[in-house]
């Protein structure tokens, strides 16, 4: 059977035109998020593709016009052999009309050894390669002993947790592989959470009363929430510097854990003292931390800052964390993901990479975030492994090396086969 897999891997080169055509087909589906609510046609294509490969397909709306698609191919000996989830997102980064693309972003161009188009790198290349590997296995009549689940999810680009919805729907496996852009590195990731910090006065004041708040003897206990928010921002900066000194994680530059004051909203208009101010922050944290932990650290620190200010002590800051959509709720969570290099699936993936590509596999951490953390949060061991690099993700004239797409497809074909043929009861 190993010889048969080697023959299938050779077919990837011989049939690369079909693989490229599949990726071109996916790119032509206009699925940018924002605006989102535009993946129905693309997801129907993937649903039909999986059904043709013998998968049982579950397709349901996360939002109108944005369904998830999950296909399950039951293994011949499910109870004894390892199961696998392959996960990727069908949405792509937004495109502005002013961007100087060589051609329409959703009209793929193949030239000079690359394919150009929105989503080529992030991450329709990963979806196309995995789907093509499944097609080759199906055409060869190979029945996998372990279960294979394929997830095409929505909303990753805008923090809409399509992958979380899959976990909540009960989809599990012994290992999950997120085929997002990793430049063929096997990766874990830090996490991201957004939050709103709100200051609100219990009373509103005319702007002419300001002199009574800030000059001696005015006897009016009031303040501008905009001005008071500067103390909150200073407190966040102090904590951020403390984190950069006291926290670290292998593979990350010092100070990668950041607190970004991204958006500030405050005041009514010029005739009022600002009675409400809201600060939107983005927090990056390390793979060995949780979003609950870092949110609590920030709240505890900022409450102590507020205790040192007379007005803030009487009008303490309020906190709102996360959200399921940057579009609907202006908030998101990406849990962190630690990869265990000694996990049997990770070792198998490393072996498949090295056997197929004849060079050492790299296990490291992603400088960005993907849906991979949702699997870790659900107790499913996982890793990120896909074609494409962050230099091209979200870029004008986004592109993917065809050679890397071929390499990735070969590796994932071998990995699907080998992991599915790994007995659950051997070497535990």
Distance from C-alpha of 327 to C-alpha of 33, rounded to nearest angstrom: 9
* 91 annotated active-site: yes
In 55-180, beta strands by DSSP E? 56-63, 66-73, 84-89, 92-93, 109-111, 114-116, 148-153, 175-178
Helix, strand or coil, per DSSP, at residue 325: strand
Distance from C-alpha of 347 to C-alpha of 344, rounded to nearest angstrom: 5
Annotated catalytic residue: which of 91, 180, 183, 398? 91
Residue 363 CB-density burial (10 A; 0-12 exposed, 13-18 middle, 19+ buried): buried
The H helix count followed by the E strand count for the chain is 12, 18
* Tokens of residue 17, six digits: 């035109």
Distance from C-alpha of 122 to C-alpha of 372, rounded to nearest angstrom: 14
Inter-residue contact 243 to 236 (CB < 8 Å): no
Inter-residue contact 229 to 310 (CB < 8 Å): no
* Tokens of residue 110, six digits: 């193949």
Distance from C-alpha of 103 to C-alpha of 113, rounded to nearest angstrom: 17
- Look-up: residue for tokens 């969570």? 333
Distance from C-alpha of 44 to C-alpha of 38, rounded to nearest angstrom: 12
Inter-residue contact 85 to 380 (CB < 8 Å): yes
Inter-residue contact 134 to 29 (CB < 8 Å): no
Give strand pairing partners of 423.
Answer: 81
Annotated catalytic residue: which of 24, 122, 147, 156? 156
* 156 annotated active-site: yes
Catalytic residues: 91, 156
């Amino acid at each position: 059977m190993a010889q048969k897999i080697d023959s299938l891997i050779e077919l990837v080169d011989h049939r690369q035109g079909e693989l490229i055509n599949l990726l071109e087909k996916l790119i032509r589906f206009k699925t940018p998020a924002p605006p989102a609510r535009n993946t129905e046609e693309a997801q129907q294509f993937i649903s039909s593709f999986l059904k043709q490969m013998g998968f049982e397909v579950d397709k349901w709306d996360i939002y109108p016009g944005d369904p998830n698609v999950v296909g399950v191919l039951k293994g011949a000996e499910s109870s004894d052999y390892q199961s696998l989830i392959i996960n990727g997102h069908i949405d792509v980064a937004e495109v502005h009309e002013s961007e100087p693309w060589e051609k329409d972003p959703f009209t793929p161009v193949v030239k000079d050894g690359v394919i150009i188009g929105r989503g080529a790198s992030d991450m329709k290349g990963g979806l196309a390669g995995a789907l093509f590997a499944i097609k080759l296995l199906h055409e060869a009549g190979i029945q996998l002993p372990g279960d294979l689940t394929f997830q095409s999810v929505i909303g990753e680009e805008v923090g809409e947790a399509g992958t979380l919805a899959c976990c909540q729907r009960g989809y599990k496996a012994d290992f999950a592989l997120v085929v997002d852009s990793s430049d063929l590195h096997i990766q874990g990731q830090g996490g991201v959470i957004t939050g709103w910090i709100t200051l609100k006065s219990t009373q509103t004041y005319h702007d002419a009363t300001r002199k009574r708040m800030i000059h001696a003897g005015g006897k009016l206990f009031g303040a501008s929430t905009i001005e008071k928010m500067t103390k909150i921002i200073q407190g966040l900066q102090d904590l951020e510097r403390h984190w950069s000194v006291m926290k670290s994680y292998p593979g990350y530059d010092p100070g990668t854990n950041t607190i970004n004051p991204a958006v500030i909203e405050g005041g009514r208009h010029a005739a009022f003292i600002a009675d409400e101010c809201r600060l939107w922050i983005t927090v990056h944290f390390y793979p060995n931390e949780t979003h609950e932990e870092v949110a609590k650290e920030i709240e505890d620190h900022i409450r102590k800052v507020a205790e040192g200010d007379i007005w803030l002590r009487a009008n303490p800051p309020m906190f709102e964390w996360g959200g399921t959509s940057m579009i609907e709720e202006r908030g998101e969570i990406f849990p962190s993901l630690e990869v265990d290099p000694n996990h049997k699936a990770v070792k198998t993936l490393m072996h498949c990479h090295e056997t197929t590509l004849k060079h050492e596999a790299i296990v490291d951490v992603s400088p960005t975030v993907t849906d991979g953390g949702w699997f870790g949060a659900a107790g499913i061991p996982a890793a990120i492994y896909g074609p494409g690099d962050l230099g091209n993700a979200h870029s004008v004239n986004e592109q993917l090396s065809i050679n890397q797409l071929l390499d990735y497809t070969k590796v994932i074909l071998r990995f699907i086969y080998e992991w599915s043929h790994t007995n659950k009861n051997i070497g535990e």
